A = this chain, B = another copy of it.
Amino acid sequence: MQLATRIVLGERGAMGDLPIQIEGEGRDGACVLVCEHASNAMPALWGDLGLNDAQRAAHIAWDPGALGLARALAETLDAPLAAACQSRLIYDLNRPPHHPGAMPARSETTDIPGNQSLTAQDKLARTETLYLPFHAELRALIARRLARGTMPVLITVHSFTPVYFGKPRTVELGVIHDADPSLAQAFLHEAQSQTSLDTRLNEPYSAADDVTHTLALHATPLGLPHVMLELRNDLIADEASQVAMAAILAPVLRAAIARLNQQAGEAA
């Protein structure tokens, strides 16, 4: 079932300022999906940050393929999806406002001219226009489920570049957790037995690299099962491969959640 997409306006109300798009808000599955790096859009309010087209299309500006994968997964799992509407270079929604990576002056080997000399006021404006509404809406999406008596499973969907600082990466699927490793471990087990993907726990990043801010804000304080999925972006470069990957990962996720529920049942 395709439900209406709800657009949540930022404080300034202009189209370019959308901090978040929620798709399938009324879907009733066990999961809530999040894609913080869904878009490489640079709304007019902030301009192009001094980057050329190639730089704006690169992984430094977004997670290529992640939105298509997240959408296909969300539809298969009957889950709502909260996705960002602007480039992570304007504000990286998976970082807190004081983190150097929230509005980075440099990403991998690229200087970001528009982020070189941000004042406290500039940072405050991006925080208030993008970060706060995104996370307030995501909190509301989760809290509405809690108030109805269901504890959602939080899944964040990301992609990573096959070559980083000149070094190729062989890992294909990274399975990352915040404080509670249980769903990530169950997912790893299922992925390794159900798929041929080179799947690894807490690679190419882990919580120690500050990449689990969304999970730390929304899953850990509420004790929600959670996992961050990181796909190597060459595996999800077009819509067909994104849909195919979702068809591989959805049963893995379902089996991992069932395994977790079974463990909880045995412990009870």
Contacts and interface: CB of A to CB of B under 8 A. Distances in A.
Interface of A: 96-98, 120, 123-124, 126-128, 131-132, 135-136, 139-140, 143-144, 146-149, 151, 213, 216-217, 220-222
B149 A124 contact: no
A104 to B, nearest CB: 15
Contact of A147 (B123, B140, B221, B222): B123
A146 B135 CA distance: 15
Given A97-B146, A120-B147, 12 more contacts: A96-B143, A96-B221, A98-B146, A124-B148, A127-B143, A127-B146, A128-B144, A132-B136, A132-B139, A135-B139, A136-B139, A217-B217
Contacts of A139: 132, 135-136
A111 to B, nearest CB: 21
Contacts of A126: 147
A123 B143 CA distance: 10
A216 B216 CA distance: 9
Contacts of A144: 124, 127-128
B120 A143 contact: no
B120 A149 contact: yes
B148 A123 contact: yes
A166 B124 CA distance: 50
A253 B261 CA distance: 44
Q: Which of A124, A140, A221 has the most CB of B within 10 A?
A: A221
A220 B219 CA distance: 12
A147 B217 contact: no
Given A217-B221, A221-B216, A222-B96, A140 B132 contact: yes
A201 to B, nearest CB: 22
Nearest to A151: B98
A82 to B, nearest CB: 15
